[in-house]
Amino acid sequence: MDAITCITTRKSIRGFKPDPVPPDLLREIFATTLRSPSYKNSQPWEAIVLSGAKKEALTQRVIDLFDAGAAPTPDLAEPRAWPPAEEARIKNLYKRRAELTGIDLGNPEIIRKAKKANFGFYGAPHAIYLFQDASLSLWSLFDMGLFAQTLMLAAHAKGVGTVPQAFATDYAREIKEFLGIPATKRLILGLSVGYPDPESPANQFQTDRAEIDEIVRWVE
């Protein structure tokens, strides 16, 4: 798969086959991901890959916290407000998803179900958590974003689906305790990883993108 095709055909996958991804293939994906650029080659990223019983145990732990009404403890606070242009795109996403799938992300009960699906990693056989030292600057958050994007593209190039998940870090303190990640680290992102299920209704929805001239200004 060439680079342009890989970029333009990648999408977030929320329906997975149960088949595990071979360890050697996961290592190959990470070997490619490690070529991500970073400020002064600081490489400010760490990852944990979860599978099997340990993944299921963490899922149950987080769902139990959620069902008990425990307050979230994310290391990165959830955005509470958006500038007008970004807010308009989010509202358009909610509207299109509701029209095409019947899933209304403005409905509190639907949001609860969506969060539980996140905590269960959409049934994927693997989960990845990305984290870094909490003393790092905002530049290192930018670098982690590059790492996550490279990871998702490297996986897609090998036929492996992913979806980046902010909700998966809602209980960062408890997740770090469960996984033995020091409290001095900040949990940045969770990802579900596995082979996409082409028959899953969750994989039929395709998000749109803004027009080029809405984003780019040309100055001569």
Q: For position 100, what pLDDT does the model report? A: 66
Summarised one tens digit per residue, pLDDT across range 58-77 is 999 999 999 999 999 999 99
Is the pLDDT confidence value at 110 over 90? no
Query: How many other C-beta atoms can be found within 10 angstroms of the C-beta atom of residue 66?
Result: 18
The answer to whether the pTM exceeds 0.85 is yes
- What's the domain count of the chain? 1
How many angstroms from the chain centroid is the CA of residue 72? 17
Domain that holds residue 168: 15-79+120-204
Is the pLDDT confidence value at 96 over 90? no
Where residue 146 sits, what CATH number does that domain have?
A: 3.40.109.10
Q: How confident is the model at residue 114 (pLDDT cuts 50, 70, 90)?
A: confident
Reduced 3-state DSSP string for 47-67: EEEEEHHHHHHHHHHHHHHHH
The mean pLDDT of 40-61, rounded to a whole number, is 97
In this structure, is residue 27 part of a structural domain?
A: yes
Three-state DSSP at 129 gives strand
